[in-house]
Amino acid sequence: MRRKIIAGNWKMHKTSSETGEFIGRLWDAMGRKEAHCEVIVAPPFTSIAAAVDATRGGAVKVSAQDVHWENQGAYTGEVSGAMVKDSGCSHVIVGHSERRQWFGETDESVNLKIKAALRHGLIPIFCLGESLEEREASKTFEVLERQVSRGLDGVQIASPDRLVIAYEPVWAIGTGRTASPEQAQEAHAFIRGGVGSLFGRELGGNVRILYGGSVKPENTRGLMSRGDIDGALVGGASLKIDDFMGIITESA
């Protein structure tokens, strides 16, 4: 049984004080107990300490939004896996399409970052997904196949809970346009098959694959009812307590 994950990617939003306040209110909204699913928030680096402080014994986990692939060195502005781990994060988002689009992230750098995350005991939330152009050119599966095989090339995964995958079709991120449950299910099943052929059926069958792209409380239930959809990576709607809590509730 794969326990669902609802993760909020805050992108470049929320200062430390806003982060502490949000997590306090989220904890209240959760009835001050663990939810049915794993709940993760990914604040900007500068708010991680405040998030870790406010997470109340781990009922809300904290993820970073990126990590460098080297352990240390002359990389101005970058943050290593050891630093992310030391800051109290359990997870790190790797390969988000905004980083691929605006910051030159490639399948190769994503691969190195996944390895760095695992090396430092972090669970990578490995994002992948096709652009609108690729979908319209019927290249979705070709793109997903490439992203899975290159992103996970040479990666060693000790157990299925050491990796999370997020299928995020680029055309659905921040656009208000969500993949239909059928489109998402089809992509998730394909990705699961790809992970299974790389690491064996046992791992493929147990790894959690989240859907991301304009998830809101109203579309959560339809998406989560599909067999291969194990939760959501939420952008915009994770910034508002009512929406984020609504998604947590609707995913049960």
Residue ranges in contact with ligand PEP by CB under 6 A? 9, 168, 173-174, 212-215, 233-237
* Euclidean distance between CA atoms 39 and 96, whole angstroms: 19
Helix axes 140-151, 107-119, angle to 10 degrees: 40
Torsion sign (Cα): 85, 194, 216, 107 = positive
Minimum CB distance to ligand PEP, residue 167 (Å):
10
Minimum CB distance to ligand PEP, residue 176 (Å):
8
Cβ-based neighbours of 27, under 8 Å, separated by 6 or more? 54, 56, 59, 60
Minimum CB distance to ligand PEP, residue 231 (Å):
12
Minimum CB distance to ligand PEP, residue 156 (Å):
26
Minimum CB distance to ligand PEP, residue 174 (Å):
4
Catalytic annotation, pick one of 96, 105, 134, 188: 96
Q: Is 156 exposed, middle or buried (0-12, 13-18, 19+ CB in 10 A)?
A: exposed
Which residue number, 128 or 234, has a Cβ lying nearer to ligand PEP? 234
137-152: b (≥16 Cβ within 10 Å) or e: eeebeebbbebbeebb
Query: Is 120 known to be catalytic?
Result: no
Closest among 2, 8, 45, 1 to 23, alpha carbons compared: 8
Which residue number, 214 or 220, has a Cβ lying nearer to ligand PEP? 214
Catalytic annotation, pick one of 38, 105, 130, 168: 168
Query: Is 96 known to be catalytic?
Result: yes
Which residue number, 19 or 63, has a Cβ lying nearer to ligand PEP? 63
| DSSP states of 75-144 | -TT---HHHHHHTT-SEEEES-HHHHHHS---HHHHHHHHHHHHHTT-EEEEEE---HHHHHTT-HHHHH
Which residue number, 1 or 102, has a Cβ lying nearer to ligand PEP? 102
* Euclidean distance between CA atoms 7 and 65, whole angstroms: 11
User: Which residue's Cβ lies closest to ligand PEP?
Assistant: 235
Which residue number, 63 or 185, has a Cβ lying nearer to ligand PEP? 63
List active site positions. 96, 168
